[in-house]
Homo-oligomer: A and B are copies of this chain.
């Protein structure tokens, strides 16, 4: 750099580079992907999963928290961290979606293939459902005229009534959009995110329509869930497998 005599720079440039720098490390990126389900982890847990020393993980977490990407909560001798908000989750999702298309990402080992298959079937994406499950729900909503995708991405009035009838309350007070498209990185198609997507996911888990598999982001549909999805949205059970 020469001096200050250059053309007036965008003030947002350095900030953008600093933010991207937080995501530019493989270990930190792994932390964020691990936390993408919206749940909290401890520092040691993240260190083990990433294969780095606890001291290294501690430094990374410090940077991510300072950068506003993670929120922390100290409980005794534990340090719990989670994504700061839905905006951060969306950002990580967008980046992941941008990178996925190039490499079709074929799995290398059988274990990874099995894990990837479960994830492809159904998983949570921060606070909403993704994978083939998420796509199936989104398609069903769209096919029944409850969600409009041809001119953007929004619930219809019939969609609002459907949520009410299903007993899934929608909080419309916040600034967060009711419906938003989230690009699925395994299906390469948009699925329902936003307040409505979060409410649907929460209700599906609360009502036992879906359960989490292990400690991963993967979820699977229960028999109860198959009945509910068939009854409420006309989804055939075969579409969920």
Contacts and interface: CB of A to CB of B under 8 A. Distances in A.
A73 interface: no
A109 interface: yes
Nearest to A115: B8
Nearest to A179: B152
Interface stretch (A12-20, A202-210, A224-232): A12-20
Nearest to A156: B151
Given A1-B51, A98-B87, A180 B155 contact: no
How many copies of this chain are found per oligomer?
Answer: 2
B102 A95 contact: no
A20 B24 contact: yes
A94 to B, nearest CB: 6
A115 B8 CA distance: 9
A165 interface: no
Size range of the interface on A?
Answer: 35 or more
Contacts of A51: 1-2, 6-7
A11 to B, nearest CB: 5
A45 B150 CA distance: 40
A88 B98 CA distance: 8
A102 B68 contact: yes
Nearest to A185: B12
A159 B7 CA distance: 42
Contact of A25 (B17, B90, B156, B180): B17
Contacts of A160: 151
Interface of A: 1-2, 6-26, 28-30, 33-34, 48-52, 68, 87-88, 90-92, 94-96, 98-100, 102-103, 105, 107-109, 111-112, 115, 148-156, 159-160, 172, 177-181, 185, 194
